[in-house]
Structure 1
Amino acid sequence: MQSSSILSVKDLNQMVKDVLSDAIGQIWLVGEISNFSRPSSGHWYFTLKDDAAQVRCAMFRNSNFRTGFTPQNGQQVLVRATVTLYEARGEYQLVIDKLQPAGAGLLQQKFEQLKQKLSDEGLFDAIYKKTLPDNIRTVGIITSSTGAALHDICQILKRRDPSLHLIIYPTQVQGTEAAAQIARMIEIANIRQECDVLIVGRGGGSLEDLWSFNEEVVARAIFASRLPIVSAVGHEIDFTIADFVADVRAATPSAAAELVSQDSLDQIKRLQIQEQYLSMAIDYYLTRCREMLNKGYHRLQTQHPQAKLAKQLNVLLTYRHALYDNIQQYLLRQTNLYNYLDKRLLRLSPQNTISALQLTINQRQQQIIHLIEQKFTQSQHQFALQTSQLNSVSPLATLERGYSVTTTVDNAVVGCAAQVTVGDFIITRLKQGKLVSQITTIDDKDITSK
């Protein structure tokens, strides 16, 4: 096993993070917020869940300050996020860069989907855009007859060019029936052919208020119109599908009135319109090219040999770890068997028997020594006793009591007179010293008989 092929946990998490980011990329999803927290760092951390699953999310401070509201637990939201991996814990999570309430968010998502669909069909392409006539004499206005937008348009047209003839096509601009009515009024204006240009729009409002101008039926009616159409919906920051399909987009209804009316600055206005149109066309083109490039890039990444090699490497590492575990288990079993046999051999070794016998010999030696010492003590005691008894009958003891012992010169004890004759020398032993005598008279009578 080569050490260069062994990954660290950090390397593995980095590899998984790269695979997730490249394979999935940026996505939109909707869910319910729970476990929302906002630490002192300013980042947001929460869980996004639905009835079947949940995922951890992070929205960093440089993104959440643009949100405009603080989400709450239990709130349904639509988020745009990148799938990634939190390397420190090895957990996958979403890094969110855009968050909005689910109601408006779903509408925004629907807006983006329809925008992409119509863009792919070419409804936004510059080749279909009609230029405004040079001499506009009649202006058709498709809007609410009671709205402020109509009042603003009429006031500006009256001030800039009182000679213009106005034709109003009243319609609802908000509600469930509004989109169909707007499309119908565009068709009627095209059938009548009684105006040079159409202004289609309304005043500002929320995304829900402006939604009629994001309906597909309105977009297709604008695209099918033979009359040039100026889209004038909402405020300058508001963009609708109608703005993209229309021949000219005006930032506000008042701006639309200025676009279709003539004054001394007409040429400058036209240049500005062309600049805006060119910028929008380039933006559409670049957006489509970027989306195509991203699709191709992600598709290439999923088919890249490196991704396949990474997958095979994971399989190889799995097998390697399994092989290593098996080897470790085999070595452990062999070690246990060796230890068992070693202990068994020790139990059966002659050395143990020799040691046991040696211990027995040592014990027997101690017993013999103890017996010898005991016997020796008894013998000493017996010797002392016999010595005492011997001393009690010893001639020396008799001498001590005042008696004497008589012996011949040959050291034979004289016990009776018959043992000696007159003239013999005898030796008398006393307590102290001895006497040498010569027998002159012998009396052999028994003194005990007297």
Structure 2
Amino acid sequence: MTTSLSQQNSRIFTVSALNAEVRLLLENEMGIVWLVGELSNLSMPVSGHWYFTLKDSRAQVKCAMFKGHNRRVNFKPVAGNQVLVKARLSLYEPRGDYQLIVESMQPEGDGRLQQQFEVLKTQLAQEGLFAQSLKQPLPTNPQRVGIITSKSGAALQDILNVLERRDPGLPIVIYPTMVQGEGAAISIAQAIGNANVRNECDVLIVGRGGGALEDLWCFNEEIVARTIASSQIPIISAVGHEVDVTIADFVADMRAPTPSAAAELVSRDQSEQKQKIFHVKSRLQQAIRLYITEQQQTVLQQFRQLEQQHPQRRLMQQAQQVDELSGRLQQSIYKRSQQELRKLTQLSHQLTAASPAYTLPVQQSNMTALAQRLNDAMQQQLKQTQHRFSVAATTLDAVSPLAVLARGFSITTDAKGKPIVSAETLKTGDTIITRLQQGEVVSTVNQTRDAKAQ
């Protein structure tokens, strides 16, 4: 046990796994709870589900009531109402919110009575008082019918009217009793006990007309339920309208939706018996026709199956499949040959386009064009070079010393050929050479004069 607990404690959960475990724990351990509180934050989205909060002065809890359950709520809930709810404890896994899944809702006053109703119903069911095996069959042709209800109520008149119309000769015994208010439950139980003691009726009708839950409450008392369960005479519970359900209905041997319906159950109606026989006959004829139709359909289906399994049919199907496969094969071969033909044509065009006989004239034409362009470019380049040379020669001639000499000027250098630009650089006896446009003059310096002295 220690190792198992240790292994369980060492388990690592994801958040979603933990929420799922907690939800199952809450739902399985707590079961159904009853809760009284004030409605708030009521939301009714288009989905049909209800979401709200139940609170008191110190705490609150979130609730959800799905449309399958809230359709049975017979009042319009409004924020601020005090209500009694029947719910299961749960957890909304995506957010980890603890919540109640509400199965029923009633105003607090009716709700408390309903809670008492559910508690007693559960208790008596567990004791087996509702078991079908304890139900007594109703007599087929009752000789005398007992009625346990108020002698001044409308229910008694309804029962008497139905019995008078359907079976006027049926004897009736009335056991008057209270059917509402304090002491009504004891009065009903005593009337049932009195009818059993006198043992003069084959069946008893116990009931009253419709009313509020409080008005019908005496039929939800434990003493009435146990008295009905112990009755030796079969009892039909006929309390209120069809929508009204009481503990007496569960314990009685038969429940009738109304007192009038209970009277119809115990009365004999000749026309109704004839109508039942007619209906049974019609149903029997219809069943025979249906059986014959079903058998014909079965034979037809089996014949079709046999026909489908016939060797000749199978051979025909297989021959058709062979023809279909043959056609598909021919179509596939044709498509493949067309594809190969297109590829061959494309390769032929590519080969023709790449053939020297096709490309050589094009290349020769391109070479001739390139040669012409080269020759034109060389001529253009030569003309541009000649023009630049002519411009340069003109510019050079304009600045040439020879051109200066031609205008009557001369150039004087020393014996080494260095131009003399100042008399201060000369001394008496130096040899100078004066170059003219034509020829040279060699001189010896006898005297120099400063340009400033002049």
TM class, shorter-length = 0.5 to 0.7
1:225 equivalent in alignment to 2:231: yes
Amino acid at match of 2:241: H
> How high is the TM-score relative to the length of structure 2?
0.54
1:206 to 188, 208, 212: 212
Q: 1:249 aligns with which of 223, 247, 255?
A: 255
Match of 2:201 in 1: 195
Q: Is the 8 A contact 1:137 1:163 kept in 2?
A: no
Is the 1:31–1:77 Cα contact (8 Å) retained in structure 2? yes
Instruction: Report deviation, 1:192.
Output: 2.1
More relative contact order, 1 or 2 (CA 8 Å, 6+ apart):
1
> CA 1:269–1:90 in structure 2 vs 1: closer, same or farther (change >3 Å)?
farther
Once the two structures are TM-superposed, the CA of residue 209 in structure 1 deviates from its matched residue by 2.0
Shift of 1:217: 0.7
Question: What is the CA distance between 1:61 and its match in structure 2?
Answer: 4.4
Please name the residue that 1:152 is paired with.
158
- CA distances 1:217-253 after superposition (whole Å, capped 9, x unpaired): 1111112222221111112232211112112222211
- Secondary structure, counterpart of 2:113 in structure 1: helix
Distance 1:266 1:196, change over 3 A: farther
Task: Report the equivalent of 1:91.
Answer: 97
Instruction: Report the counterpart of residue 402 of structure 1 in structure 2.
Output: none
Aligned to 1:116: 122
* Structure 2 letter corresponding to 1:115: K
Q: Which runs of 4+ in 1 moved over 6 A?
A: 265-271
Structure 1 equivalent of residue 62 of structure 2 = 56
**1:204–1:235 Cα contact (<8 Å) kept:** yes
Structure 1: any 5+ residue segments left out of the alignment?
272-450
Q: 1:14 is matched with which residue?
A: 20
Contact preservation (8 Å) 1:259, 1:269: no
State the shift of 1:79 in Å.
1.6
Range that drifts further, 212-221 or 30-39: 30-39
Tell me the equivalent position of 1:446. Answer: none
CA RMSD after TM alignment: 2.8
1:67 aligns with 2:69: no
Distance 1:128 1:267 in 2: 28
* Secondary structure in 1 matching 2:115: helix
Cα distance 1:251–1:116, how it changes in 2: closer, same or farther (>3 A)? same
What SS does the aligned partner of 2:155 have?
helix
Structure 2 SS opposite 1:167: strand
Task: For 1:11-410, list aligned pairs within 5 A.
Answer: 11-38=17-44, 42-264=48-270
Select between 244-253 and 41-50 the one with higher mean Cα deviation: 41-50
Q: Can you give the 5+ residue segments of structure 2 that lack an aligned partner in the other structure? A: 1-9, 278-454
Maintained 8 Å contact 1:138/1:194? yes
Match of 1:425 in 2: none
TM-score by length of 1: 0.54
Displacement of 1:266 in angstroms is 7.2
Partner of 2:4: none
* Residues paired across the two proteins, number: 268
Deviation string 1:272-295 (CA, Å, 9 cap, x unpaired) is xxxxxxxxxxxxxxxxxxxxxxxx
Q: CA deviation at 1:141?
A: 0.8
